[in-house]
């Protein structure tokens, strides 16, 4: 998470977020605000990779929220752009600025992070995880998972479960 330090006189939110900052602090600093922002940073770290999926750009974050809510459905880029009230080019450019990739690549990474979390829990079969994340074909899911995590979903689960067992 990157915070900008700005004075009240030069506060221009669009420029802050366009520069890649996740949030900002106003100068002169207010102790309670700093404590609150640091607590938020710690909470984000404790949640794991959540920061990878959060954007300070409201348009991008709205898109991310929609994609996360519809994680099991196929969503076309043009449909997503329409849903958030912009065009494909603007949406792709804003995702590139926020995450260094387009919306569909972001979605694939989000799906694979969610898949890893669910595989570690061990409550669902690989086929159930694949289907719930929009992969009707388990082989396509396995290929996508291995491309991101370097292991097949089954090997990933076995390794994760071995690490969590008490010694």
137 and 98 share one domain: yes
* DSSP bridge pairs for 5: 25
pLDDT at 164: 59
pLDDT at 50: 46
79 and 135 share one domain: yes
- What DSSP state is assigned to residue 29? P
pLDDT at 16: 75
31 and 66 share one domain: no
Domain containing residue 62: CATH number: 1.10.10.60
70 and 142 share one domain: yes
158 and 82 share one domain: yes
pLDDT at 5: 83
10 and 89 share one domain: no
pLDDT at 138: 92
pLDDT at 149: 87
Task: Tally the domains of the chain.
Answer: 2
Rounded Cα gap, residues 122 and 33, in angstroms: 40
pLDDT at 1: 56
pLDDT at 137: 92
Q: Kindly state the helix (H) or strand (E) to which residue 25 belongs, with its residue range.
A: strand 23-27
39 and 22 share one domain: yes
Of the candidates 116, 63, 92, which has an alpha carbon nearest to the alpha carbon of residue 54? 63
58 and 111 share one domain: yes
pLDDT at 70: 94
Within a 10 A sphere around the Cβ of 3, how many other Cβ atoms?
17
pLDDT at 44: 54
pLDDT at 49: 44
Mean pLDDT, consecutive 10-residue stretches, the chain (167 aa), reads: 74 71 77 73 51 81 94 95 96 92 93 92 92 94 92 90 61
Contact 142, 155 (CB under 8 A): no
96 and 130 share one domain: yes
88 and 32 share one domain: no
pLDDT at 162: 77
Q: Is the pTM higher than 0.85?
A: no
Kindly tell me the burial class for residue 37, based on how many C-beta atoms sit within 10 Å of its own C-beta (0-12, 13-18, 19 or more): middle
24 and 70 share one domain: no
Range of the domain at 80: 53-164
pLDDT at 47: 47
Contact 118, 124 (CB under 8 A): yes
pLDDT at 64: 93
42 and 106 share one domain: no
């Amino acid at each position: 998470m990157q915070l900008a330090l700005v004075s009240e006189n030069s506060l221009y939110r669009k420029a802050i977020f366009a520069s890649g900052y996740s949030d900002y602090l106003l100068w002169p600093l207010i102790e309670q605000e700093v404590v609150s922002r640091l607590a938020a940073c710690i909470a984000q770290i404790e949640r794991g990779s959540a920061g990878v999926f959060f954007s300070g750009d409201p348009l991008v974050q709205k898109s991310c929220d929609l994609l996360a809510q519809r994680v099991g459905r196929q969503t076309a880029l043009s449909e997503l752009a329409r849903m958030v009230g912009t065009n494909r080019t603007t949406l792709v450019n804003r995702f590139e600025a926020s995450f260094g990739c387009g919306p569909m690549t972001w979605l694939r990474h989000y799906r694979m992070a969610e898949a890893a979390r669910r595989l570690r829990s061990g409550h669902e079969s690989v086929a159930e995880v694949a289907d719930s994340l929009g992969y009707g074909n388990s082989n396509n899911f396995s290929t996508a998972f291995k491309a991101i995590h370097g292991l097949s979903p089954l090997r990933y689960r076995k390794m994760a479960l071995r690490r969590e067992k008490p010694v």
